[in-house]
Structure 1
Amino acid sequence: MPRLPLLRRPVARGLVQVQAQAQAQVQVHGQVQPDPAGGTLAVWPGHPKGSAAYRKILAGLAFAGVATFAQLYSTQAVLPMMAADLQITAAEAALTISLATVGLAATVLPWSFLADRIGRVRAMMWGISAATVLGLLVPLASSFPMLLGLRMLEGMALGGIPAIAIAYLNEEVNKAHAALAAGTYVAGTTLGGLAGRLLAGFVGELWGWRAAALAVSILAAAAAALFVVLVPQARGFTAAAAGGFRGAFRTLAGHGRNPRLLALYVQAFLLMGGFVAVYNYLGFRLSGEPFSLPATIISLIFLAYLSGTVSSRWAGGLTERFGRRTVLIAGTVLMAAGLALTLTQLLGLILAGLLLFTAGFFAAHSVGAGWTGAIATTGRAQAASLYNLAYYLGSSVIGWAGGLVFQTLGWTALALTVIGLACTTAVITAVVHPARASAEAPADAGS
């Protein structure tokens, strides 16, 4: 009997250690929550594939993707029309895209830190609501500088969606299905981009680019409302303690020192930049000789996005069989092959090449976007935000600079430049992500 108090000490110490380990899991994985049965901390496994909550998450984020990417690229289908109406060059018209993506790139990191404090869902709701209001103001711009300013503010508001959505998926969906869920989300973003461009093209042909912008904003408002209704509240999220500037800098610096993450950021910058450049200026090529296509017909080239909708979904499933490295490299090779077909003067081959190019891009993007959350064990929102920062900086810088190449040297020079970017990405991926990781693909693909 006198020794009983001595026995309690190691037991108490053991309980403290278990609690400390569980608290550490909260910080590392962000998927540990109180267990209502025993009051201790239990690991939140995430919603399994096929559950009602899983379907609501994917549907809600799909509508968020529609609202985000319909607005972000709403002017792309009417760039030639806008250039003629405002008497500006192709590169200047493309600034309505580039400045929107600059605004998004500038705010993805602040949005990610805000989401760590107030929650993923609330942050996404704030961003999507602000973007919708700004989008409705765009058609009212009385001058080109005002139009550019509104587009930049719209992009800044939209910065609250892409990176947070991926972090939300990684926290709420069972890890075995995280890659598939990310691919499904990216498929939703392609539908959003397609819907916005097609709607803008048809409305713009009838009533001008201002009416096109208004129509897209109304579509985005409806999608945003559906997102708010459908998306479930987070269960795997744990609010981060305020760590101040130093804590934020340490998180970002840690990601910056990870070569595997850096390779994904370079991939995002190069591939997205090349992708936007192709879609920005292909319309100018098709509106000129020898094609001379009207705006309504040119807007149909964005139907190629449907190949990206399919390929991003497939890519998520293929990673479970072949590994992320293999699928990402295959996507970049497909991009280069498809773009090579656009070097001909045959419209049928150009359109076929655009289908392959788009499918390859979205396959590579869906793998890269989901991979950041698997590689980063801490600061996932920040890791995803850095990916999006690189992604949209590429869209802004290369998407605009591609216009200078196109105006000076023509389509062949622009296409060969983008092929070079895709090949560079494939080499970087092959070198930085070792082949032995592919041998672990089935386990890694779902992580």
Structure 2
Amino acid sequence: MSSAAQQAEISTSIDGPDLKIVATQASVVARQFLTRGTPAYKRASFALFLSGFSTFSLLYCVQPLMPIFAHDFSVSPAASSLSLSLSTGFLAFAIFCAAAVSEGFGRRSLMFVSLMGAALCTIACSLVPNWHLLLVIRALEGFLLGGVPAVAMTYLAEEIDPRGLGASMGLYIAGNAFGGMAGRVVTGAIAEYLSWRPALAAVGVLGLLTAIGFMLLLPPSRNFVPRKDFNAGFHLKAWLGHVRNPALPLLFTIGFLAMGAFVTVYNYAGFRLVAAPFNLTQTELGLIFTAYLFGIAASWAAGSLGDRVGHFAVMRAGILIAAAGAAVTLSSSLPLIILGIVLVTIGFFATHSVASALVGRLARDTKGHASSLYLLAYYLGSSIAGSLGGYFWLADGWSAVVTFILVLLAGCLVAALGVARLASR
């Protein structure tokens, strides 16, 4: 681009309060960032909050319904967990596809299609006549939802002024956690007074509304340049490079094991608590998921504390807190069981927050590819371990489930010690 053309581009791009110019040393490059405090920035941040809320409310709304599924469809607890495990498993693999598709299809459009499709799938689940069709639709829903987490962070990184990126990213993650909590609480409450079908329908309709709100609020991409070609060799080389980095596979292992332990607690605690001697109602069971509020606070605190005392120390502490919480749930006292679930939640969110941040710090280049590998391991942990826990439940009840969880967390701690040792070198 000629100097005159550069100047013309800059003079055009500075019109309006929402834009900021970034100049590189090599050449003058106009970037139209959304700056903090402007209306466009606020719309984008809230739109991404809605996308996170919708994604995780749709994904996890079936978790408190697993005991009902087991009864109504005459399936085992392990089989009932497939309503979530299949979704998270297909979501894990969809992340790779979505990242590539968004390069040609567009960030905003792909996220909207994903959210609308997933909401319609949830409504369809409320109408299914049999268990196997429900599982097929839930698998499709997970695949569709992969288009949101894979693209949302990329949109933020491309469009938001770096000085305001932390706040908008934090709001997006808060939307994830709040949606995961709300989806569980809403379905639990509605299922008690009506049935699981109206509960899923309500969450699906809410998903449609949030998808429409997302599309209306999110500003079109200003810095995204569509790519018509897809270089598979480049992506494969990038992923293999991260696998060969000795520290990163240990972080991927932490994501897999920590998420597996966390989901196992929430998947099967419901089976224990709706039975004697606790006999919790679906509403009471759903309210236990408000423990996520502690997780939201733990995520923020872990990042701040890690800057002061060291991220590896905070990650180890998070794992130990989760293990202590799992052990506390062995109690026969309901308040202590709830305390244990809260501790598991705090420990998991602290561990996940630090581990996901360390992936970006320890990846030498193509950090997006490293993050996609972490997310793959993270959601596979939810899918695989979340279902395996059901066999331990059938074998010897909650004590066997806790044993399984503690084994996962022990492996997590070994991996954390290993990555700290490698990073120190």
**TM-score interval (norm. to shorter):** 0.7 to 0.9
**Equivalent of 1:60, from 28, 31, 47?**
47
Once superposed, what is the RMSD of the aligned Cα atoms?
3.1
Whether the aligned pair in 1 keeps the contact of 2:356 and 2:371 (CA below 8 Å) is yes
**Equivalent of 1:91, from 78, 89, 106?**
78
- Which residue of structure 2 lines up, in the alignment, with residue 200 of structure 1? 187
- Distance in 2 (CA, whole Å) between partners of 1:250 and 1:41 is 31
Whether the aligned pair in 1 keeps the contact of 2:93 and 2:143 (CA below 8 Å) is yes
Bigger CA drift: 140-149 or 176-185? 176-185
- Which residue of structure 1 lines up, in the alignment, with residue 312 of structure 2? 325
**Equivalent of 1:118, from 98, 101, 105?**
105
- Distance in 2 (CA, whole Å) between partners of 1:329 and 1:167 is 29
Identity score, percent: 36
One-letter identity of the residue aligned with 2:329: T
- Distance in 1 (CA, whole Å) between partners of 2:28 and 2:128 is 53
TM alignment of 1:222-371, pairs within 5 A: 222-235=209-222, 237-239=224-226, 242-371=229-358
The answer to whether residue 131 in structure 2 is matched with residue 144 in structure 1 is: yes
Q: Report the alpha carbon displacement of residue 401 of structure 1 after superposing the two structures with TM.
A: 0.3
- Which residue of structure 1 lines up, in the alignment, with residue 204 of structure 2? 217
- Distance in 1 (CA, whole Å) between partners of 2:387 and 2:28 is 50
Q: Report the alpha carbon displacement of residue 37 of structure 1 after superposing the two structures with TM.
A: 12
Whether the aligned pair in 2 keeps the contact of 1:97 and 1:396 (CA below 8 Å) is yes
Whether the aligned pair in 2 keeps the contact of 1:183 and 1:312 (CA below 8 Å) is no
Q: Report the alpha carbon displacement of residue 41 of structure 1 after superposing the two structures with TM.
A: 3.7
One-letter identity of the residue aligned with 2:87: A
- Distance in 1 (CA, whole Å) between partners of 2:362 and 2:267 is 32
Q: Report the alpha carbon displacement of residue 174 of structure 1 after superposing the two structures with TM.
A: 5.2
Stretches of structure 1 lacking an aligned partner (at least 5 in a row) = 1-14, 20-32, 439-447
- Which residue of structure 1 lines up, in the alignment, with residue 151 of structure 2? 164
CA deviation string 1:257-285 (max 9, x = no partner)? 22333222111111111111110100001
The 3 A distance-change label for structure 1 pair 360 and 54 is: farther
Bigger CA drift: 101-110 or 417-426? 417-426
- Distance in 2 (CA, whole Å) between partners of 1:43 and 1:259 is 38
CA deviation string 1:226-257 (max 9, x = no partner)? 22233334455454562432222112212222
Whether the aligned pair in 2 keeps the contact of 1:312 and 1:366 (CA below 8 Å) is yes
Q: Report the alpha carbon displacement of residue 177 of structure 1 after superposing the two structures with TM.
A: 6.5
Q: Report the alpha carbon displacement of residue 180 of structure 1 after superposing the two structures with TM.
A: 6.1
3-state SS of 1:432 partner: helix
Q: Report the alpha carbon displacement of residue 36 of structure 1 after superposing the two structures with TM.
A: 9.5
The answer to whether residue 421 in structure 2 is matched with residue 431 in structure 1 is: no
- Distance in 2 (CA, whole Å) between partners of 1:72 and 1:40 is 44
Q: Report the alpha carbon displacement of residue 302 of structure 1 after superposing the two structures with TM.
A: 0.8
With the length of structure 2 as denominator, give the TM-score of the two structures: 0.86
- Distance in 1 (CA, whole Å) between partners of 2:43 and 2:129 is 40
One-letter identity of the residue aligned with 1:65: G
- Which residue of structure 2 lines up, in the alignment, with residue 3 of structure 1? none
One-letter identity of the residue aligned with 2:294: S
- Distance in 2 (CA, whole Å) between partners of 1:403 and 1:113 is 35
How many residues end up aligned between the 2 structures?
Answer: 409
- Distance in 2 (CA, whole Å) between partners of 1:37 and 1:305 is 42
Stretches of structure 2 lacking an aligned partner (at least 5 in a row) = 7-19
3-state SS of 1:259 partner: coil
Whether the aligned pair in 2 keeps the contact of 1:270 and 1:422 (CA below 8 Å) is yes
3-state SS of 1:42 partner: coil
- Distance in 1 (CA, whole Å) between partners of 2:406 and 2:155 is 33
- Distance in 2 (CA, whole Å) between partners of 1:141 and 1:90 is 20
Q: Report the alpha carbon displacement of residue 87 of structure 1 after superposing the two structures with TM.
A: 1.4
- Distance in 2 (CA, whole Å) between partners of 1:45 and 1:313 is 29
The 3 A distance-change label for structure 1 pair 82 and 169 is: same
- Distance in 2 (CA, whole Å) between partners of 1:430 and 1:233 is 44
The 3 A distance-change label for structure 1 pair 425 and 185 is: farther
- Which residue of structure 1 lines up, in the alignment, with residue 374 of structure 2? 387
Whether the aligned pair in 1 keeps the contact of 2:292 and 2:345 (CA below 8 Å) is yes
One-letter identity of the residue aligned with 2:234: G
Q: Report the alpha carbon displacement of residue 140 of structure 1 after superposing the two structures with TM.
A: 1.4
Whether the aligned pair in 2 keeps the contact of 1:169 and 1:181 (CA below 8 Å) is yes
Whether the aligned pair in 2 keeps the contact of 1:180 and 1:316 (CA below 8 Å) is no
One-letter identity of the residue aligned with 1:60: A
One-letter identity of the residue aligned with 1:164: V
- Which residue of structure 2 lines up, in the alignment, with residue 401 of structure 1? 388
One-letter identity of the residue aligned with 2:85: S
